[in-house]
């Protein structure tokens, strides 16, 4: 048999049915409800179309010819009777099995060509193969092959609009042949053609029956064609009224198109309507950008505040304040309401003897005037942690310097914050290295305890020359000048009136390890002092910012919901507008799930694209804002936020696209084809 020579080894189709396939209608009726009554489009028809023959179905309009074709080709189901193709009862297949069967067994040719106008001839022909899961390159080769076969080898890259009616119908025939189906069904293929082109198309179709041995059925109401057919079946009022050669049939299909293929098609569909896709995606872009921008600014500020806290106290430090249960203070001492207890040297020594304590110290702070030449500025001076704890193993944090070093032992030295140093010496930012070693005249004016400032004894108020040993990086809440701990302790003694106990107003207790922090905090509390860990402060800051960032994210999220509604509306319109395209895809064998995937992918494509642009936009706006307001660190975009933006954009689009995609998938292929 010819079929053996041409068999390319497709396991889904047995060699015997390769070229042609007998298809039978057995007592088939198809009725449609119309108002109260039902219209019988077909009424108990039995007919077998055979391989190697061109069967011509003739009859007046409304006689049931199209209905008959749809039933033969598995585009529709009978209301009574069975349809049998080879060994398969196609009228009993599930919708998906039927789609798969149709894709591999039937090629349709329609009156109005139904070529997709945005695809070239070759792409139109390749479409059913791509839907069948073939790769693009072999599909294209095969498309060029069959286009050659119908005499259009030189028109492969033309679009339907650039072809004559006859040529367009040849492309449609080539498309019907692409998947090499055993059955070709042509419903009034010559209806829109002049008689010359009509004859040519009929000749071409007859070659497919005679040359290849395919089963070819052609519907017409043109009596002229009767002479060209092997068999003429006349249909009128839903019945067969004459048959020139009456006489007296395998399912299973390949996998459908890959998800990648469908997504590629969806992507190009979205790009084809670029402008509309952009407008639709814009909603997602705005939502994602707003989310990224707002949450990033929240995260940036949080980061700064936490950094400022950790600048002052490490996680293993416990900040001791004079009052138990006092509020949080970022400085060394707590608020002073309630029964405040003095924290003096004896008390600090007691703290250092508590179990789990590595060291206890205090960081007295002062208000002072710093002067250089004629320039003067008020600065806050804070004691550094004791030098014995600078070795890096204690978790004690030291200020970050932009120039110079921390004060040494030899001469009284001071570290000024960047802004104060620049102002006093009249230099601009970046030139601080040249200031190291210069002299600053410092006059103490008050002692800072917690949030209050108290007067100092006159003994401490003499101006003194100090060496500027370094310049500290300015940070939120960390813009104090720094001196050695021992010097500050001496100042604190001088500042206290003779005979009075030196009250430092606060202390820092360093736990031996992170595990000891809890116990140390407890023990300090038991002694009647307030104890706050940096971890507590950071935790509370993070809680507050977490709420803030969530609120900001929700605001961005609302924009995303609106974007989702927009996508739903646009996709619903697209389904209406593209009914015919959906019909063609279904006729070419696309399953309902394929159509669903196609539309859902298109929505997802728009959503993800909008999300990516939104991520970039939000990030760029944040960077721009940070630049404009000279707040480089204020805008932090964590990776999770970028991914979240993308994920939200895609998820909103997919949710919004699901309903219209479902509607598209449920469209009846026959009705979809009728839509204009």
The residue with its CB nearest to Mg ion is 66
Contact code string over 27-56 relative to ligand ADP, x by CB under 6 A:
-----x-x----x-x---------------
Q: Considering CB distances under 5 to 8 angstroms, the limit depending on partner class, which of Mg ion, ligand ADP, none binds residue 39? A: ligand ADP
- 71 close to 20: Cβ distance less than 8 angstroms: no
The smaller minimum CB distance to ligand ADP, of residues 69 and 389, is found at: 69
The smaller minimum CB distance to Mg ion, of residues 238 and 334, is found at: 238
**Contact between 335 and ligand ADP per CB under 6 A:** no
Burial 215-254 (b: 16+ CB within 10 A, else e): bbbbbbeeeebeeebbbbbbbeebebeeeeeeeebbbbbb
Window contacting ligand ADP (CB under 6 A); options: 63-71, 120-128, 207-215, 544-552: 63-71
The smaller minimum CB distance to ligand ADP, of residues 134 and 586, is found at: 586
Radius of gyration of the chain (CA): 43
**Contact between 61 and ligand ADP per CB under 6 A:** yes
**Contact between 640 and ligand ADP per CB under 6 A:** no
Least spacing, CB of residue 39 vs ligand ADP, in Å: 5
Q: Considering CB distances under 5 to 8 angstroms, the limit depending on partner class, which of ligand ADP, Mg ion, none binds residue 497? A: none
Name the β-bridge partners of 39.
32
Burial 18-54 (b: 16+ CB within 10 A, else e): bbbbbbbbbebbbbeeeeeeeebbbeebebbbbbbbb
Cβ-based neighbours of 602, under 8 Å, separated by 6 or more: 266, 267, 269, 270, 571, 574, 657
Helix 592-628 × helix 579-587 angle, to 10°: 130
The smaller minimum CB distance to ligand ADP, of residues 224 and 671, is found at: 671
Smallest CA-to-CA distance from 343 within 417, 449, 192, 215 is with 449
Least spacing, CB of residue 52 vs ligand ADP, in Å: 25
Q: Considering CB distances under 5 to 8 angstroms, the limit depending on partner class, which of Mg ion, ligand ADP, none binds residue 472? A: none
Torsion of CA 561, 567, 570, 574, to 10 degrees: -150
Interacting residue with ligand ADP among 3, 66, 312, 394 (CB under 6 A) = 66
Contact code string over 58-77 relative to Mg ion, x by CB under 5 A:
--------x-----------
Torsion of CA 616, 622, 628, 634, to 10 degrees: -140
Secondary-structure percent of the chain, ordered helix, strand, coil, rounded to 5:
50, 20, 30
Window contacting ligand ADP (CB under 6 A); options: 57-65, 108-116, 400-408, 444-452: 57-65
Least spacing, CB of residue 114 vs ligand ADP, in Å: 15
Interacting residue with ligand ADP among 17, 50, 55, 63 (CB under 6 A) = 63
Interacting residue with ligand ADP among 1, 4, 62, 246 (CB under 6 A) = 62
Least spacing, CB of residue 45 vs ligand ADP, in Å: 11
**Contact between 469 and Mg ion per CB under 5 A:** no
- 485 close to 387: Cβ distance less than 8 angstroms: yes
Least spacing, CB of residue 186 vs ligand ADP, in Å: 13
Least spacing, CB of residue 139 vs Mg ion, in Å: 30
Q: Considering CB distances under 5 to 8 angstroms, the limit depending on partner class, which of ligand ADP, Mg ion, none binds residue 629? A: none
**Contact between 323 and ligand ADP per CB under 6 A:** no
Cβ-based neighbours of 525, under 8 Å, separated by 6 or more: 324, 531
- 222 close to 56: Cβ distance less than 8 angstroms: no
**Contact between 64 and ligand ADP per CB under 6 A:** yes
Binders of Mg ion among residues 303 to 342 (CB under 5 A) are none
Q: Considering CB distances under 5 to 8 angstroms, the limit depending on partner class, which of Mg ion, ligand ADP, none binds residue 262? A: none
The smaller minimum CB distance to ligand ADP, of residues 64 and 386, is found at: 64
The smaller minimum CB distance to ligand ADP, of residues 59 and 181, is found at: 59
**Contact between 111 and Mg ion per CB under 5 A:** no
* E strand intervals along 280-344: 317-321
**Contact between 67 and ligand ADP per CB under 6 A:** yes
**How many helices (H) and strands (E) in the chain?**
18, 22
Least spacing, CB of residue 164 vs ligand ADP, in Å: 25
Count of chain residues binding ligand ADP (CB under 6 A): 13
> Which phi and psi angles does 215 have, rounded to 5°?
-90, 115
Which strand (E) or helix (H) includes residue 187?
Answer: strand 183-187
- 26 close to 42: Cβ distance less than 8 angstroms: no
For residues 396 and 491, give the distance between their C-alpha atoms in angstroms, rounded to a whole number. Answer: 22
Least spacing, CB of residue 613 vs ligand ADP, in Å: 43
| Lookup: tokens for 141 | 């080769």
Count of chain residues binding Mg ion (CB under 5 A): 1
Smallest CA-to-CA distance from 418 within 431, 405, 437 is with 431
Name the β-bridge partners of 437.
none
For residues 150 and 202, give the distance between their C-alpha atoms in angstroms, rounded to a whole number. Answer: 12
For residues 224 and 352, give the distance between their C-alpha atoms in angstroms, rounded to a whole number. Answer: 113
The smaller minimum CB distance to Mg ion, of residues 66 and 363, is found at: 66
Least spacing, CB of residue 66 vs Mg ion, in Å: 3
**Contact between 65 and ligand ADP per CB under 6 A:** yes
The smaller minimum CB distance to ligand ADP, of residues 36 and 61, is found at: 61
Q: Considering CB distances under 5 to 8 angstroms, the limit depending on partner class, which of ligand ADP, Mg ion, none binds residue 664? A: none
Binders of ligand ADP among residues 642 to 671 (CB under 6 A) are 671
Least spacing, CB of residue 244 vs ligand ADP, in Å: 18
| Lookup: tokens for 649 | 């954009």
179 CA to centre of own chain: 36
Note the residues at the interface with Mg ion (CB under 5 A).
66
Note the residues at the interface with ligand ADP (CB under 6 A).
32, 34, 39, 41, 59, 61-67, 671
């Amino acid at each position: 048999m010819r079929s053996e020579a041409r068999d390319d080894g497709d396991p889904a189709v047995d060699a015997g049915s390769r070229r042609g396939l007998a298809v039978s209608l057995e007592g088939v009726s198809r009725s449609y409800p119309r108002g109260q009554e039902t219209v019988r489009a077909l009424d108990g028809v039995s007919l077998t179309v055979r391989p190697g023959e061109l069967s011509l179905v003739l009859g007046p309009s409304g006689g049931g010819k199209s209905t008959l074709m749809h039933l033969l080709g598995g585009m529709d189901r009978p209301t009574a009777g069975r349809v049998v193709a080879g060994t398969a009862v196609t009228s009993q297949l599930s919708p998906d099995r039927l789609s798969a069967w149709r894709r591999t067994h039937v090629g349709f040719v329609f009156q109005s060509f139904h070529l997709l106008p945005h695809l070239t001839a070759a792409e139109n022909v390749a479409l059913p193969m791509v839907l069948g899961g073939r790769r693009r390159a072999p599909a294209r080769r095969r498309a060029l092959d069959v286009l050659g076969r119908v005499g259009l080898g030189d028109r492969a890259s033309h679009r339907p609009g650039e072809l004559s009616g006859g040529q367009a119908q040849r492309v449609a025939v080539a498309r019907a042949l692409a998947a090499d189906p055993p059955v070709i069904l042509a419903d009034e293929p010559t209806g829109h053609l002049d008689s010359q082109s009509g004859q040519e198309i009929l000749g071409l179709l007859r070659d497919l029956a005679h040359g290849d041995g395919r089963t070819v059925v052609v519907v017409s109401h043109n009596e002229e064609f009767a002479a060209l057919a092997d068999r003429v079946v006349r249909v009128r009022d839903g019945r067969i009224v004459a048959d020139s050669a009456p006489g007296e049939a395998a399912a299973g299909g390949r996998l459908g198109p890959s998800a990648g293929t469908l997504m590629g098609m969806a992507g190009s569909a979205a790009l084809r309507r670029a402008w509309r896709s952009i407008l639709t995606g814009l909603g997602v872009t705005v939502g994602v950008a707003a989310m990224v921008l707002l949450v990033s600014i929240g995260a940036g500020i949080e980061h700064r505040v936490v950094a400022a806290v950790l600048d002052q106290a490490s996680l293993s430090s416990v900040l001791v304040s004079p009052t138990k249960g006092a509020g949080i203070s970022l400085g060394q001492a707590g608020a002073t309401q309630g029964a405040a207890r003095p924290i003096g040297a004896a008390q600090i020594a007691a703290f250092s003897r508590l179990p789990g304590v590595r060291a206890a110290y205090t960081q007295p702070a002062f208000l002072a005037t710093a002067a250089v030449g004629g320039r003067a500025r008020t600065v806050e001076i804070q004691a550094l942690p004791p030098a014995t704890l600078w070795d890096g193993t204690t978790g004690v944090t030291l200020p970050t310097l932009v120039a110079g070093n921390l004060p040494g032992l030899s001469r009284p030295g001071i570290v000024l914050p960047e802004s104060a140093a620049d102002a006093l010496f009249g230099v601009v930012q970046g030139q601080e290295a040249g200031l190291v070693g210069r002299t600053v005249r410092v006059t103490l004016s008050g002692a800072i305890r917690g949030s209050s400032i108290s007067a100092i004894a006159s003994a401490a108020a003499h101006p003194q020359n100090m060496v500027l040993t370094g310049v500290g990086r300015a940070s939120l809440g960390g813009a104090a000048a720094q001196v050695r701990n021992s010097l500050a302790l001496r100042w604190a003694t001088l500042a206290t009136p003779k005979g009075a106990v030196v009250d430092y107003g606060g202390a820092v207790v360093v736990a031996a390890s992170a595990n000891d922090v809890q116990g140390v905090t407890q023990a300090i509390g038991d002694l009647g002092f307030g104890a706050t860990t940096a971890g507590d402060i950071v935790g509370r800051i993070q809680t507050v910012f977490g709420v803030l960032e969530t609120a900001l994210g929700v605001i961005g999220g609302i924009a995303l919901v609106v974007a989702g509604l927009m996508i739903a509306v646009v996709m619903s319109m697209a389904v209406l507008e593209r009914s015919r395209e959906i019909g063609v895809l279904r006729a070419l064998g696309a399953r309902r799930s394929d159509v669903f995937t196609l539309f859902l992918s298109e929505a997802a494509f728009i959503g993800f694209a909008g999300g990516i642009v939104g991520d970039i936009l939000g990030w760029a706006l944040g960077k721009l804002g940070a630049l404009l307001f000279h707040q480089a660190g204020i805008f932090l975009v964590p990776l999770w936020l970028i991914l979240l933006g993308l994920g939200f954009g895609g998820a909103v689009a997919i949710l919004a696209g699901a309903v219209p995609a479902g509607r598209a998938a449920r469209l009846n292929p026959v009705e979809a084809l009728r839509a204009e």
